[in-house]
Copies of this chain bind each other. A is one copy, B any other.
Amino acid sequence: MQRPYNFSAGPAAIPEEVLQMAAAEMLNWHGSGMSVMEMSHRGKEFISIAEKAEADFRKLLAVPDHFHILFMQGGGLAENAIVPLNLSRGGAVDFVVTGSWSQKSVKEAGKFCDAQTVASDEAQGFTHIPAAAGWKLRDSAQYVHICSNETINGVEFQELPDLATLGSKAPLVIDFSSHVASRPVEWSRVGLAFGGAQKNLGPAGLTLVVVRDDLLDHAMAACPSAFNYRLVADNQSMYNTPPTWGIYMAGLTFDWILRQREGALTGVAALEARNQAKAELLYRAIDGSQLYENRVAHDCRSRMNVPFFLKDESRNQAFLDGAKERGLLQLKGHKSVGGMRASIYNAMPLAGVQTLVDYMQTFEKQA
């Protein structure tokens, strides 16, 4: 039986193969007699799971050796505090605000450092990314923060800024929660990347932090030990008991990603091609219709999160009801913006987007 297509913004769809494997191994992982959830995190079984997950993540995103990969807890909202606690030294930090998530980040950082918005698209309703040439970067900034994909507003950096060419020596911090592993990362431009796992990588409760080694040692005295990057790194992400199930599920997902093929492409490159095709199909359908609209500038539309509005809002509930009947789930937009949102992460096949587009066109004609 065909499973429904799940467009949740996160926690989000997981590849069916991954779920099948998790169910099959639930009571007895690889002959150990234990569920993964029942293993000591310091035993050889779980250590092998964690080491493979880390190595596979490094491989699939080509993370250079001078970056540490940390498995942490608390999601993006916790990192909004944990990053400044580790990197700001209580000094200046610059934020580019392109939507709800970067707004939250600058507000939270203000508790720990001199957090300043150096560019914002709020006046245009978060439909553009402010041109980098206009960012008012400070020489004193300890780092510059961007949200490289805004889940709620559907705005994505198609290329990461190169701060060096903007005259800044600060490291770039990216919140890549909602598009991690959907496209390659230009690590030469990045100091630190963080993301909750619950969109593209696995279940909620696991956070990935990829941090350049020279940034590990600047934690403020007020940083809780469990969230001190140096301590987490030196203890192979086991300073405190890690979210073992989340690491296991992410590991199965990493393995799934590495096995993906699209023509001659493999892994993340294959997914990127598939994600481009999915996004083009959906945006084309929206732009070509009289009923639906997406307000984001074409050159910064997200490939992962596609918010759209029915010009006749009185039909919103009918749209959602009809979608659910056809097995198209969780399309309701975020409460702060309304309308609809289709999140089409890695686990969403092209066939799912095609089914949505077919439904949207049928629904439009019913008017």
Contacts and interface: CB of A to CB of B under 8 A. Distances in A.
Interface string A213-254: 000000001101111000000000001111111100100000
B81 A226 contact: yes
Query: In the complex, which of the residues A82, A224, A240 has the most CB atoms of chain B within 10 Å of its own CB atom?
Result: A224
Given A39-B8, A73-B73, A241-B198, A246 B205 contact: yes
Main secondary structure of the interface of A (DSSP, over half): loop
Contacts of A226: 74-75, 77-78, 80-81
Contact of A245 (B33, B85, B205): B205
A38 B14 contact: yes
Contacts of A221: 111
Nearest to A84: B224
Interface stretch (A22-30, A182-190, A358-366): A22-30
B37 A249 contact: yes
A88 to B, nearest CB: 13
Given A75-B226, A203-B37, A43 B242 contact: no
A6 interface: yes
Query: In the complex, which of the residues A10, A38, A243 has the most CB atoms of chain B within 10 Å of its own CB atom?
Result: A38
Given A43-B330, A203-B245, A204-B245, A35 B10 contact: no
Contacts of A161: none
A18 B14 CA distance: 22
Given A11-B38, A37-B11, A38-B8, A204 B20 contact: no
19 contacts: A3-B28, A8-B39, A10-B241, A11-B37, A11-B40, A12-B38, A19-B27, A23-B23, A23-B24, A43-B330, A73-B74, A74-B240, A77-B241, A80-B224, A81-B224, A81-B227, A111-B222, A203-B245, A205-B243
Q: Which 6 A-B pairs have the closest CB atoms?
A: A205-B243, A81-B224, A77-B240, A4-B33, A23-B26, A78-B226
